[in-house]
């Protein structure tokens, strides 16, 4: 593995750490992932640092193509060519493993022991992730037998008790995926992830395809299970409003880099980076006064040829000439009482007023001047 010193403005290592006192269960250091294409390397994840504390829920936010899934899958060695991890280390410190190990250097047999038993994943599309020709019990047994040594009877009992755990009646053991509602399928996925009582569960948009009511029910279930079983969660979603409510810390990603990391409360009250502000302003809210909503016009940059400086400049309402020279270093927000609140934008503080909009594209208008 060759580090690229020229392009490696790694953040100070203490900045991305979780609450002091506990060493993180997963420690991603200076990770880079590229997609090899004939037109050049797409730098999907560019020298990022992230630590996940024991029992912590960390949210990865960003629009599609920001690299959040690539980061999670790259860190767990789930990517296939043309994706290539080019730099970094991912240290795993589980309670059941004797000493910390770098996942990126593991041999295949070590990886097999790590997967599912230590780190499990809940994928977005439960319909595609479940095998349509196996019933729920056989899917669960499959996961159990693949990763745990267990007599048949015990495994069956385990499958049934996993369903209890996620609130599905045991009578559904013989159901096939197509006979279950979307919410139930996602619960089965969660049950499978819990099969070996992992230390970390990576959840990749687990509720995006579901209705809000079911979504809320499942999230409440996840939180309850987390409190009971004590695993850590890396929660990937584009829905920042959901993360604000669910997670302890949020890492906002843009163009393969983190642009802001802070506790959920800080992100909610004192978000600093213009991209975070844009994301927060992309969701119509149901409560409170009607705000003017603008979203984030434009689209992410081509990561084969990332622009110099801050990649968000073309879409940023605060952009100024100096932005071309910014190196994307995460530094503490000057006005924040929390030293762990870091941002890649050196110019915009939480209370910086939005400069007057340039009257060009009509896309920056409020959704509707309702009430007028």
Q: How far is the CB of 264 from another protein (least distance, A)?
A: 7
Q: Which structure tokens are listed for 55? A: 């029992």
Nearer to another protein by C-beta: 154 or 227?
A: 227
Q: How far is the CB of 305 from another protein (least distance, A)?
A: 18
User: HSE on the CB side for 309, CA within 13 Å?
Assistant: 14
Q: How far is the CB of 82 from another protein (least distance, A)?
A: 18
Q: How far is the CB of 312 from another protein (least distance, A)?
A: 11
Q: How far is the CB of 270 from another protein (least distance, A)?
A: 13
CA torsion angle 323 325 331 335 (round to 10): -40
Nearer to another protein by C-beta: 295 or 332?
A: 295
Token pair 């687990």 in the structure block, residue: 206
Nearer to another protein by C-beta: 169 or 308?
A: 169
Sheet holding 57-61, edge to edge: 119-122, 200-204, 232-237, 57-61, 249-254, 257-263, 342-343, 331-332
Q: How far is CA 118 from CA 93, 107, 193, in A?
A: 10, 15, 10
**Cβ–Cβ under 8 Å, residues 79 and 67:** no
Q: List Cβ neighbours of 332 (8 Å cut-off, separation of 6 or more).
A: 15, 339, 340, 341, 342
Nearer to another protein by C-beta: 117 or 249?
A: 249
Token pair 């009250």 in the structure block, residue: 269
Nearer to another protein by C-beta: 161 or 181?
A: 181
Nearer to another protein by C-beta: 88 or 256?
A: 256
Nearer to another protein by C-beta: 123 or 283?
A: 283
Contact residues: another protein, CB under 8 A: 63-64, 167, 181-183, 211-217, 219-220, 223-224, 226-227, 238-242, 244-246, 264-265, 268, 278-280, 282-288, 290, 293-297, 299, 362-363, 365, 367-368, 370-371
β-pairing, 101-102 vs 26-37, is unpaired
- Positions of E strands within the chain: 26-37, 40-52, 57-61, 83-92, 101-102, 119-122, 200-204, 232-237, 249-254, 257-263, 331-332, 342-343
């Amino acid at each position: 593995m060759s580090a690229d010193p020229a392009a490696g403005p790694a953040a100070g290592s203490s900045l991305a750490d979780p609450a002091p006192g506990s060493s993180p269960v997963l420690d991603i250091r200076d990770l880079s992932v590229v997609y090899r294409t004939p037109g050049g390397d797409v730098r999907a994840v560019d020298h990022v640092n992230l630590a996940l504390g024991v029992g912590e829920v960390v949210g990865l936010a960003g629009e599609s193509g920001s690299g959040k899934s690539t980061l999670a899958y790259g860190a767990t060695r789930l990517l296939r060519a043309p994706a290539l991890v080019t730099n970094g280390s991912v240290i795993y410190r589980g309670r059941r493993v004797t000493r910390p190990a770098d996942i990126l250097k593991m041999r295949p047999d070590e990886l097999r022991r790590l997967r599912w038993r230590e780190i499990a994943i809940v994928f977005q599309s439960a319909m595609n992730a479940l095998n349509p020709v196996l019933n729920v019990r056989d899917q669960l047994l499959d996961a159990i037998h693949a990763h745990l040594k267990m007599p048949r009877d015990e495994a069956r009992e385990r499958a049934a008790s996993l369903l209890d755990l996620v609130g599905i009646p045991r009578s559904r053991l013989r159901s096939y995926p197509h006979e279950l509602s979307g919410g139930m399928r996602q619960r089965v996925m969660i049950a499978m992830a819990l099969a070996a009582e992992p230390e970390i569960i990576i959840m990749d948009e687990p509720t995006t395809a579901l209705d809000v009511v079911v979504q809320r029910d499942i999230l409440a279930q996840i939180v309850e299970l987390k409190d009971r079983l004590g695993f850590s969660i890396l929660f990937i979603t584009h829905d920042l409003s959901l993360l604000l409510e669910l997670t302890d810390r949020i890492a906002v990603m843009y163009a393969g880099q983190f642009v802001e990391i802070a506790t959920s409360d800080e992100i909610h009250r004192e978000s600093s980076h213009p991209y975070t502000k844009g994301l927060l302003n992309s969701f119509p809210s149901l409560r409170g006064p009607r705000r003017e909503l603008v979203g984030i016009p434009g689209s992410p940059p081509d990561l084969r040829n990332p622009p110099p400086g801050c990649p968000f400049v073309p879409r940023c309402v605060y952009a100024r000439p100096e932005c071309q020279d910014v190196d994307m270093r995460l530094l503490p927000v000057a006005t924040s009482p929390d030293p762990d609140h870091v941002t890649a934008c050196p110019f915009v503080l939480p209370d910086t007023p939005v400069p007057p909009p340039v009257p060009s594209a009509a896309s920056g208008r409020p959704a509707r001047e309702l009430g007028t």
